Structure formats: structure tokens, C-alpha cells
Structure 1
Amino acid sequence: MYLLALLGDIVLYTIGLYLLLNCCYLLFFSLAGHKSIRPLQVTVKKNRRFCVLIPAYRENEVVLETSKAALKHQYNGNFEVYVIADGLLPETVATLRGSDVQVIEVAFERSTKGKALAAALAQIPANRFDIAAILDVDNIMGPGFLQEVNKAFGAGYRVVQAHRTAKNMDSSFAFLDACNEEINNHIYRKGHFAIGMSSALIGSGMAFGFTYLKELLKGIGETVGEDKELDFRIVRDQEKICYLDQVYVFDEKIENAKVFTQQRTRWIAAQVEFLKKYAGEGITQLVRHGNVEFFNKVVQAFLVPRVLLIGVLVLFFLSSLMLPFGPPPVFWAVLLLMLSAALLIALPARFYKSRQLGKALFQLPYALFCMVKAVFQIKKTKTSFLSTPHKVTAVSADANL
């Protein structure tokens, strides 16, 4: 009995220490996100040439609307909109080509966003553009997006991430997803950039030096997390990723549990993939090269997804009320308070003014169930793209910032 209790203590205290580190990390960067970011001090000397890339995987209706919106974007310089057509209907391609949109058709046995981008860039002359901006098929660029990105490049950055935010919050699940997005923005982008570290990429609303992006995409492979792969490659080069907190790209939020589960399955699979791939290199980069940024990306891959973390901490708290070994209930209660503080601090004030917040919180148990389900479905990503389906959605009044 003594040995069993001792073993239980070792296991539970080890798990407790790991989860404590999770909560400390989130709370630290949540607090850091309230540090003001100094505006870019640069005079715009030239308007760089932009290539706006929109990968479209079987999204016929949505791509027609978003590409049309992209063409209307106001920019002082020259830009062209490219749709990377993967599985689009012939009539959709014909309609796009009938407008000012450039179309590059691609086809793969197994589609991924990274392969589509690499294939498209291989067909565009390297001297035609200075900057490549990447949008998801449902994204709408907010006012001044290209102009502010151009300004950031004038300040010396080669990689820029804008503030992606919800364009729809018309259901409880969409509102919950929008909250999650803003918490991510606050912790992993604003919080890091505010203390001088690189922002994390988010997959869209991002821009790269055109030739640099071509280099980054070499050998991208079939990863389902091309943005995370780019993250690791960029910090390995010790390039700083700029975050433009006041420059928006509007993104469609998920409105139902099925799509939520599918998307999270892809995200968790990517996290596991990069944890396995880069854990060892993270130690090497830190010890041999002093590359704290690379090590930090590995630490992020070790973190438990937040919705799962809430469920895990509640489970251990309840278990501690009955188990005679392991950390006491107060320990798990403190971790729950730390996590709650981190999330509440990171959520923008405007969300607290919405009546939907209470309804969205009632969706958390269901979201937790979906996350657990996603964990057991990650093998599906090896045989299927698991793209997130979209619909034509206007930017809602709630998205006004």
C-alpha cells in the first residue's frame, strides 16, 4: 500500500508540475499582452508590389465572393490577386478568369495548403512581386492591410502577421471560436511581440518577402500544419515575425460541433507532428546557438490545448478530493484559478459586453467533448486533408473594432 501511494505521489506530482508550467506560461504571456506595442517608426519610401494568394480547396461559392472583395482592397501601390484552384469547378475557374483575378490550377493525390502555395509560387516569376500575402479562402482584408504590411517591410521585417479576427459571431459556437481566436492573438502574438519576441503565425492574414517565402516552402511536404512548419523554419533563421495588432483580417468562425472537431483534429495532429519532429532540435538550438525563439516554439508544442487543459484540471481537482495521495485539492484549485485568470485577462473587453458570452460558456463542455474526440481522430489526417468548409459570410456588425 505504501509503495502504491508513493508511486501515485510521483506520477501525480510530475503531472501537476507539467500542468503548472502550462498555466504559468499562459498567465505570463497573457499579462505581457497588456504591454503596449510601440508603433512602427518608419517613413514609407516606396509601395512594394504585392501578390495576394488565396488557396481554394473545393470552395466554389466562397472564393468568388472573397476574391471579389480582395480586388476592391485599397492600396497605394500595385497588387494582384491569385486564386490557387485545387478542385474548383470549371465554371468557377472560368468566372474567376473573367475578372481581374489570376488563377493557378493545381492538383495533388493528397492536397495540402503548403503544397498548393509552393506549386503556385513556382509558376510566378520571382522578380514580379516584392511581397506575398496569404489569405484563407474565407478571409476579407480589413482597411489598410496591404499599406500597413508595406510599412512593416519598410521597417526591415521579412515576415508579418496581422490580427485575424471573427467576421461572424451569429451562433454560440461561432462566438466561442471567436473568443478562442482572440485569446490566441493576445497570448501567442501580442504577448510575445510586446516583449520583443516573434509573433506566432496563424495560417492566414500573413505576409512574407516573396523570394523568402519560396525558400521557406521548399520541401514543405504533406504537413497539415504548414503555418507551424513555417514558424519553426523562420525562427531557425532567427528572423523576427512582426505582429500588427491594429491591422485586421476577417475570418469566418466555426458554427457547429462537427466542423469544430474536424478543425481541431487537424490542429492537434500538427502539434503532435511538430513535437516529435523538433523537440530534440529545440534543446540543441537553445544550448548550442542560444536560439530562445526556437526553443519557445517547442515549448508551445508541449502545451496542452486550452479546452482540454480546463477539463484535465477539473478532473484532477475532483479526483484529489477522494485520493489519499498526490497534490491536495488546493493545488489543483490554484491551477484552475491561474488558467482562468490567463484566459479572462486575454479576452478583449468588447466580448464581455456581449449577451452571447454566457451562452457560449455553456458550450464549453460540448467543446471539451469535441476536443477529446479530436484526439482520437488524429490518424485521419494521414489520409485526408480535413479542410474546414466555409460559406459566404458578410462581416457582421459585431466584428466592427
Structure 2
Amino acid sequence: MVDILLYVFLAVQIAACFYLLLPFLFLITSSVMPVSESDRAMASGMADEGQSDQETGIVCVITAYKEKEFAFLLVDSLLKQKYGKFHIYLVADRCEAEDSDPKNQKLSILYPDAPLDSKVSSLRMAMSEIDASVYPYTLVFDPDNLAHPKYLQELNALLMQGYKAVQTRRTAKNLNTNMACIDAAGEHYYHITQRLAPFRLGSSATIAGSGMAIETSLYSQLLDETQKSFAEGEVIVAEDKILQNHLIELGHIIAYAPNAVLYDEKVVSAAQVQRQRTRWINSWFGYFKEALSLAGFGVKRASSNALLFGLMISTPPLFLMLLAGGFLAVLSWLLTPSFAPWMSAAVLIFGLTFMVSLMLAQADRRIWKALVSVPLFIFRQLMAMLNIKKANTSFMETTHEKRLTIEEVIFDIGEFKRVKG
């Protein structure tokens, strides 16, 4: 019996080593890959070269739940784009129309007659207004986002290459607390290991929940299918994960546009970390089986895109990787000393991969300084695990606090770069 348990423990360690080393393998293999056409486009800044005198019609859809004032700041940043062919639909759920609402020919504000209480329902409401022949692509935002002035130009450079789906780069708009900085560190890590590296390897970038552009007719179809698969009134957890899995199963590559920068509000307090991560952790547990099924689908169909993507999205959240890796490394010295050096090496390589990712992403020095608060960040996520069942029955929206304009965000980033230099 003891021998069987030791073999089980060894199998767990091997699985843990695989997931700890997977980001490193993505990173190292993508760094030695030949430069692709997409890489050349991104490196040369196709938007500056004028390739994109030819503009693709883009609809920008913003889903605002009780917080349309934040969305107005995003609208302002979009109206300042150096791009012509776009329109904005703002779905203001549980909000009231006011005389002070912004007016612009490129903006349509939709107020549902009855509360929707669902991001998917809000998206479907906007999609019903869109003419796909005029706007072939739909770009989705959260209300707390802000778009860089060249955002749509840079995105257009990838859309012109014919991709059906493109994820843009999300980065922090606020680094005002240690919690916000650590949240931003995670965004940098995923930018490198789950978006840029896989795309360079010919696979797909993960969808981040906002800042993704999808062919309008395809997106409308996928949203309808998603809605039909859930009972009326049921909370749809992680619609972005459902969407990306469908895209991969259909044979599409989700492209990545690292030069199209979208600023995203990061959690500022430990309590916010716990609430937000409750949804995220629940979605990982809920879709782990589907992720492995997608990898199996890739093997069956000889699709490297589906195989690599399925393995990547089955990777546990960062904090679970750190905790489980550290715990197993210590335990392995006691129970399986012959494997302990390998387990410890995997944990070390994972930590180095995280640090290298921050360096490659040129993380702000405030992020580096905030890493001392990682234990508190992890503790709050452990607390979030105790509430994951609540995420199946509650919308659990994140409350936003930082009302910043795009000019303020860009100035803040520029000031810190100037001081650092």
C-alpha cells in the first residue's frame, strides 16, 4: 500500500514538473523560432508604415454594469483614435439615461429595458445592432479599459492579415498599490508566456476577457451558441474561455497584437483580489477538463494549435503553481529523495521564467518593489478558493475605483520612465 502511494505521489510530482516547465518551454522555443511575417509586421510597426491606409471596419462594444461613468473615459480614449472606420456601442446595464451622456456620431448608448445582469446578454444586445457588412470585426472592452491613441491602428495591422480573432495587449493603467503592482506582474507574465510565445510558435494567444477583436458574424454565432448552452437565468462563468475553445475547435488561430496596447484597471486592495480571483479560480476548475479535452482533440486531429493551446490553458493559476510546486519540492526530499532534485529544479526554473517574463515585458520598477507582498496576494487567493461555489450563482462584478483619462495614464508611464532613465 505504501509503495502504491509513493508511486501516486511520484506521478503527481511528474505532472507538477510538466506544468512548472511548460511556460519555460514556450518561452525558450519561441525565442529561437525564425521570424515570421507576423513578427516582422509587429516589429516594424505596420500601422506607422501606412499599410493601413486601408482600414477595416471595427465595432467597439463596451459592456458597462452599473458603472457607465468609467466607460465614458474609455469612450473618450476611443474617440481620440488616429483611425477613421469604427463605431462604439456602449451597453449600459442597470444605468439610467442622462442629459449629460456624451453625444457623438460614432457613439451609440444602449439602455436595456430590463436588467440583463449578464455580460453575454449585453454583448448579444449590441451585436443585434451591428451591420457585419460595414463592420466586419467586433472589438470587446470592459468599462475600466483605456485605449492607447494608436490602438486601433496597431490592431488593424493584424486584422489586415486575415485573422478571424485577435487579442490585443493588456497592461496596467494603475500601479498605485502593491496589490495593483502584483496584479500587473501577472498580466506581464501571461503577455509573454500565454500570448506572445504561443503565437510565435504558430499556436494561439489566450483571450483576456477584453481587448479581443473577432469577426462579427462569427462572434454573433458563437455568442448565440453560448447562450443556448445555459439555462435561462443561469450565471455564465468565464464566457471568454468558452469562446476561445470554440475558436480553436473551429480551426482558427487567435492572433496576438502586442503593439496594440489597452490599459486595464488592476485591483488595488486585498479584498478586491479575493473577490475577483473567486471568479477566475472557479473558471479554471470548471474548464480544466475541457482544456485537456481540447489538447486531446489536437492529438486526434493532428492540430498543433489545439494541442499546444489545450495544454497551455490547462495550466493552473500562478499562485497554485507556486504553492503546489514549493510544497511538493519540500515533501519530495522526505518521501522521494531520488526525484527531489528534479522537483526542486522545476520550481527554480518556473521562478526564473516568471522573472525573465517581467524583464522581457519591461515591467515598471514599482512592480519589482511590490513583489515583497506576494505572500499576502497568494493568501487572498487561497481565501478566494473557499468561495468558488458562489461564483456559479452570483455575477460577482469587480468594483472599479481609478477614474483616469488616457492622457493621465500615458503621462504617468512617461514620468516613471524619465525618472528611471
Q: What is the TM-score with the length of structure 1 in the denominator?
A: 0.89
Partner SS state of residue 144, structure 2: coil
Q: Match for 2:189: what amino acid?
A: I
Aligned to 1:57: 65
* Higher mean C-alpha displacement, 138-147 vs 328-337: 328-337
* Higher mean C-alpha displacement, 29-38 vs 240-249: 29-38
Aligned to 1:367: 377
Match of 1:71 among 67, 76, 79: 79
Aligned to 1:237: 250
Match of 1:161 among 161, 164, 167: 167
Partner SS state of residue 366, structure 1: helix
Partner SS state of residue 90, structure 1: coil
Aligned to 1:80: 87
Aligned to 1:271: 284
* Cα separation, partners in 2 of 1:352 and 1:57, compared to 1, 3 Å: closer
Contact 1:201 1:231 in 2 (8 A): yes
Aligned to 1:15: 12
Partner SS state of residue 363, structure 1: helix
Deviations 1:4-44 (A, max 9, x none): 2x133112211101101101211112334545632267944
Contact 1:97 1:103 in 2 (8 A): no
Distance 2:134 2:101 in 1: 21
1:319 equivalent in alignment to 2:326: no
Identity %: 24
Contact 1:282 1:298 in 2 (8 A): yes
Distance 2:89 2:200 in 1: 33
Deviations 1:312-370 (A, max 9, x none): 2222233345x344665433321221111211111135756615523x22211111112
Q: Match for 1:283: what amino acid?
A: G
* Cα separation, partners in 2 of 1:184 and 1:108, compared to 1, 3 Å: farther
Match of 2:266 among 253, 262, 265: 253
Q: CA deviation at 1:398?
A: 5.1
Distance 1:356 1:279 in 2: 33
Aligned to 1:354: 365
Match of 1:38 among 34, 40, 43: 40
Distance 1:224 1:187 in 2: 24
1:341 equivalent in alignment to 2:359: no
Contact 1:167 1:250 in 2 (8 A): yes
The number of residues matched between the two structures is: 392
Aligned to 1:96: 101
Partner SS state of residue 111, structure 2: strand
Deviations 1:271-318 (A, max 9, x none): 22222345445424421x222322333323432211121112222233
Describe how 1:88-167 pairs up with structure 2 within 5 A: 88-91=95-98, 94-96=99-101, 98-100=103-105, 101-106=107-112, 111-167=117-173
Unaligned runs of 5+ residues in structure 2 are 228-234
Deviations 1:118-154 (A, max 9, x none): 2220233333422211111111111322122222222
Aligned to 2:230: none
Partner SS state of residue 218, structure 1: helix
Q: Match for 2:202: what amino acid?
A: G
Q: CA deviation at 1:186?
A: 0.3
Contact 1:168 1:396 in 2 (8 A): no
Distance 1:69 1:317 in 2: 47
Aligned to 1:25: 22
Distance 1:186 1:351 in 2: 11
Contact 2:154 2:259 in 1 (8 A): no
Q: What is the TM-score with the length of structure 2 in the denominator?
A: 0.85
Partner SS state of residue 387, structure 1: coil
Match of 1:286 among 275, 296, 299: 299
* Cα separation, partners in 2 of 1:281 and 1:319, compared to 1, 3 Å: closer
Contact 1:12 1:327 in 2 (8 A): no
Aligned to 1:214: 220
* Cα separation, partners in 2 of 1:143 and 1:229, compared to 1, 3 Å: same
Distance 1:159 1:352 in 2: 27
